[in-house]
Amino acid sequence: MADNARAKRLADLIREVVAQKLQRGIKDPRLGSHVTITDTRVTGDLREATVFYTVYGDDEERKAAAAGLESAKGILRSEVGRAAGVKFTPTLTFVADALPDTARTIEDLLDKARQSDAKVRETSAGATYAGGADPYRKPADDEADDTTETDGDATA
């Protein structure tokens, strides 16, 4: 079992090597320049690596990129082995990253919140306070109430 720091270093190296090889070394038109390696994770025993990627484009281009990455898996693994110099080169598994979809969902939710805030602002534009601008009692008001009660008691 390797330590976490070594697994992190290997994951970073795999991410860099795969990204460089995709950019310069593989001539597959399905991969092109719209595939981005976002993250890499390596298991504790350094035997398996999961490479997360995003594809700029529609669903058809995402499917083509996934097929291209699967076909280039052997070349990419041999490049990783050459660069890493470890006894056992990890197997590579490519997973489409859900980050863009999550970001799109968050943006949609933020837009809904902005619209809701705008509606609240519109309805409260001409509104007035129900019981006055300051609904809290002040110490000065309490003293005025106390003096009228104590004046009646002092004369008796």
Per-residue pLDDT tens digits for 68-122: 888 888 888 888 988 888 889 899 999 988 877 788 899 999 999 999 999 988 8
With pLDDT > 70 as the criterion, what percentage of the chain qualifies? Answer: 86
Answer yes or no: is 115 within a domain: no
Answer yes or no: is 129 within a domain: no
- Say yes or no to pLDDT of 26 above 50: yes
The pTM for the full model equals 0.65
CA angle 29, 34, 39 (to 5 degrees): 120
Domain that holds residue 24: 2-102
Answer yes or no: is 124 within a domain: no
Phi and psi at 7, nearest 5°, equal -65, -40
For all residues of the chain together, what is the average pLDDT? 82
Answer yes or no: is 86 within a domain: yes
Answer yes or no: is 153 within a domain: no
pLDDT score of 41: 93
CB neighbourhood size of 143 (10 A) = 9
Answer yes or no: is 97 within a domain: yes
Token pair belonging to 40: 């890499």
Structure-token match 């593989």, residue found: 26
Structural domains counted in the chain:
1
Angle between the N-to-C axes of helices 4-20 and 73-84, in degrees from 0 to 180, rounded to the nearest 10: 130
Task: For residue 28, give the CATH number of its domain.
Answer: 3.30.300.20
32 compared with 125, residue with greater pLDDT: 125
93 compared with 142, residue with greater pLDDT: 93
Q: Any idea which of 45-59, 73-87, 106-120, 141-155 has the lowest mean pLDDT?
A: 141-155
Answer yes or no: is 51 within a domain: yes
